[in-house]
Structure 1
Amino acid sequence: MAEGPGDPAGDRDVEVRQLRRLFRIFGATQCRDRSPVYEALSEGVADDDGLLDLLMSTPRDQRRPSLLFAAVNLLLASDPGSALAGYYPVRGGRRPVDDRLMPAFAAFCAEHRDELGRLLRTGSTQTNEIRRCVALRLGLDHVRRRWPGPLALVEAGASAGLNLLVDRYRYRVGGQEASAAGASPVLITCEVRGGSPHERILGPVPEITSRRGIDRHPVDLADPGARAWLEAFVWPERLDDLAVLRGAIDLAVSSATVTVAPGDATTDTARLIGELPGREPVVVFTASLLSYLDFDARAAFAAQLRQAAARRPVAWVFAEAPGLVATTDGLIVPEGSLARRNSRYLIGASLRGSGHRDDALLALADPYLRWLAPARHRTDDFAWLPTDADTG
């Protein structure tokens, strides 16, 4: 008998097809030109019924490529002699991608199936892409030009809160040094596309009076296990990212100036802002937060910003997928292809206070801020920038 639309087996088949598609999209849009290992594994997992079955045994919102790959990477730290570790430079491997990668991955997952299942059921996605501080600095400079003076800083979805140390890092953007902290051991680099060779991209960082983060599962950097889990989200080939992350962690631990509170950005952001001392404007930064929220949750987050802005000036600085920005709080995204370029991130700022609102698009960027293209005007549609397939 054919399965009806409400049959559990039929629903499961739909979810498996969606999961296959999710891994293929992840490989094509997130991994291409960034991680040959994860690009190949994304295609391989999409075709592996056993691995898909493992993922289907976990809660629906835990079935994420990044979570599976991080769980495997974490377990590789305890099994550096495995065939799979040979493909991971972050684990000391030097073998290039070949036709034995996927069998090694499947065998490793089968050997560690119980441990993987536990991590996939209980682990939360935890990434601190320190390069995204370039987006935050763009936003802070934009806010500084309109609201001169000190600012308070909040990050929603802050993980370990390392982006809150934005003024403690050194920067090289478009080949130009733009140091916030001259002696910092952490150097963040970013290529510039479409800008003038002599254009200064990053302005000075305003004084930050307080810095707070909020996350459903804050990372306790004093916990070695939590640090190892955070490092597991660094991709196999990204030795430079791992070095930057470790440097930022050491800074955060030694400075002890960052606080990340447990909470939900969609219900607790206004409360957190209300607890901040002073009356100076507050910059709320998000990077990839919207990709974890459905339409109703994005509306709830926008309502939190409006509620907070009724009491003191609030600026939302974001690095998010254009299509998600376009469906959040009426932010203006030019019509046309920009809203569909979700393999890129839109950097922008929305200033709210005293019944006034000022929105501006600042740049289009690689999701991991390997490069950015500065906006040529405040509502740029970036049609002048080559399509995603051509930008790398």
Structure 2
Amino acid sequence: MLVELFRDAARACLPASPLTNLLLDSVADDLAESGPMTSVVCGLELGGAGSVPGLRFAAAVHHLVLSGRAPKLARHYPTAGGRLDPATFWPAARAAILAGSDGVRERATATAVQTNEPGRMAPCLGGLQVAAQEAARRVGRSTPFPIRLLEIGASGGLNLRPDRVALELDGTVVGDETSPLRLDPAWTGRPSADLSAELRIVERAGCDLHPSDPNTEEGRLHLSSFVWPDSLERWDRLQAALRLASTDPITVDRAAGPEWLADRLADLPADVLTVVWHSVVWQYVSARDRARGREILAEAAARATDRAPLALLVYESRRMPPGAPMPYRFDLLLRLWPSGLAGRLGTGGGHGIPFTWLG
């Protein structure tokens, strides 16, 4: 099972990360031959396919490089100033992993995948504008609702600042022009909203079972380790998001989603649109917590009013039928209460960029 999980993770890395693909495929080959990697990674499959043991392992190796403990392997890692040499990569990686095997195993076992991808703020920003303006239009309000943003699976909280991001669109900048995080969202089409309208977020909060603190060196290193080492555009986005976080600290609560959400949705404040948001975390949530989360959201939706509306805005994967060009599609979905509006706003890449709006 572990061999196939590593091979599946390796395939999912292409074409974006040949380095991660080569690392995971090489480990899978070693496992198939009962090689020394067996003692390093055995047991990682106990969390099931949804826990993505291959990505946790790759992040643990990347952490080894970024922390300066594998200088010879770092020569292959672009995030450490290196360049991949496929012919010599695996011997260097194998030696570094075995030399630090206890640390690699401990980190891969103890951590959960951190999907704090700042690129997902681009579709989120557009979706929030649609939600705030549509909720206002349906009740005859002349200005968009201010937003109370609640994120499940917030990791380091990097995606709780969509109003403090700059989007570069057709030679113009939308959002905060002074932001250190500037995104080219690679949009096809546009959201059905006025992007020049002020996006007011009056409250923001998040929870995670394993939150990372981006204002500590270890927190920054941990979040950085989950970026594929040869995806330098994503790496640059994350580093910019970390700089933004340093100017605007947000504490992410260590809590399970259902309990935290029940507390946050106990009251829906008037004249504010409460938005529950999550992105690419659903696969890591247990079936029990999913069901409980739906119940809590349904209870809150029943209490939503024209003056105190509620929205669910999510960016999650959907498995495609056999024969499709890609095994998964990532959809931005919106639901609004009490209006009952529900629909798919668009579809994009797993990291939020590029993205196609459906109008």
TM-score, normalised to structure 2, is: 0.85
Q: Provide the secondary structure at the position in 2 that maps to 1:346.
A: strand
Query: Which secondary structure does the structure 1 equivalent of 2:15 belong to?
Result: coil
Spell out the pairing of 1:108-119 with structure 2 (5 A cutoff).
Answer: 108-119=96-107
Structure 1: state its 5+ residue gaps.
1-16, 325-335, 377-392
Name the aligned partner's letter for residue 269 of structure 1: L
Q: CA–CA distance in 1 between the matches of 2:89 and 2:159?
A: 34
Deviations 1:309-342 (CA, angstroms, capped at 9, x unpaired): 2334321111101249xxxxxxxxxxx7899954
Kindly state the Cα deviation for residue 143 of structure 1 after the two structures are TM-superposed: 0.6
Contact 1:176/1:200 (<8 A) preserved: no
Q: C-alpha offsets along residues 53-100 of structure 1, whole Å, 9 cap, x if unaligned?
A: 42223472266222111111111124466332111110110234x132
SS in 2 for 1:321: strand
Residue in structure 2 matched with residue 361 of structure 1 by the alignment: 344
User: Paired residue for 2:209, among 201, 216, 226?
Assistant: 216
Query: Is the partner of 1:83 in helix, strand or coil?
Result: helix
| Equivalent position to 2:168, from 166, 169, 172 | 172
Query: How many aligned positions are there?
Result: 340
SS at match of 1:218: coil
Q: CA deviation at 1:185?
A: 1.6
Residue matched to 2:142: none
- Using CA pairs under 8 Å that are at least 6 residues apart, name the structure with larger relative contact order, 1 or 2: 2
The correspondence for 1:41, drawn from 13, 17, 23, is 23
- Tell me the SS of whatever aligns to 2:155: coil
Q: For residues 125-162 of structure 1, what are the alpha-carbon distances to aligned partners after superposition, in whole Å with 9 as ceiling and x for unaligned?
A: 22321000012112112212221221110111001111
Q: Which residue of 1 aligns with 2:7?
A: 24
| 1:374 paired residue number | 357
Q: Which residue of 1 aligns with 2:302?
A: 310
Q: Identity rate of aligned residues, in percent? A: 27
User: C-alpha offsets along residues 332-360 of structure 1, whole Å, 9 cap, x if unaligned?
Assistant: xxxx789995433111111133xx52211
Partners of 1:221 and 1:36 lie apart in 2 by: 27
Deviations 1:252-273 (CA, angstroms, capped at 9, x unpaired)? 22223x2311111133212123
Q: In 2, are the aligned partners of 1:140 and 1:205 still within 8 Å (CA)?
A: no
CA distance in 1, matches of 2:292, 2:324: 21
Change (3 A) 1:241 1:63: closer
Measured against aligned partners, the alpha-carbon deviations of 1:181-217 in whole angstroms (never above 9, x if no partner) come to 1111211122234x48x99995645311100011112
CA distance change for structure 1 residues 373 and 52 in 2, over 3 Å: closer, same or farther? farther
Q: Distance in 1 between matches of 2:215 and 2:286?
A: 32
Deviation at 1:41, TM superposition (A): 1.9
Aligned to 2:318: 322
Match of 2:53 among 52, 64, 76: 64
| 2:330 partner letter | Y
Q: Write out per-residue CA displacement over residues 219-242 of structure 1, whole angstroms, 9 at most, x where no aligned residue.
A: 223321122111111211233323
2:302 maps to a residue whose letter is A
Q: What is residue 95 of structure 2 aligned with on the other side?
A: 107
Tell whether the 8 Å contact from 2:214 to 2:220 is kept in structure 1 after alignment. Answer: yes
Aligned partner letter, 2:57: L
Residue segments in structure 2 that go unaligned for 5+ positions in a row: 137-144
Determine if contact 1:71/1:120 at 8 Å carries over to the other structure: yes
The Cα of 1:247 is off from its aligned counterpart by 2.3
Alpha-carbon spacing, 1:275–1:247, altered in 2? closer, same or farther (3 Å): farther
Task: Name the counterpart of 2:120.
Answer: 132
Tell me: CA distance 1:99–1:338, structure 2 relative to 1, closer, same or farther (3 Å).
Answer: closer
Contact 2:319–2:328 under 8 Å retained in 1: no
Partners of 1:211 and 1:259 within 8 A in 2: no
The code of the aligned residue for 1:141 comes to Q
TM-score of the pair, normalised by structure 1: 0.78
Residue 185 of structure 1: which of 168, 180, 187 is its match? 180
Tell me what 2:283 maps to. Answer: 291
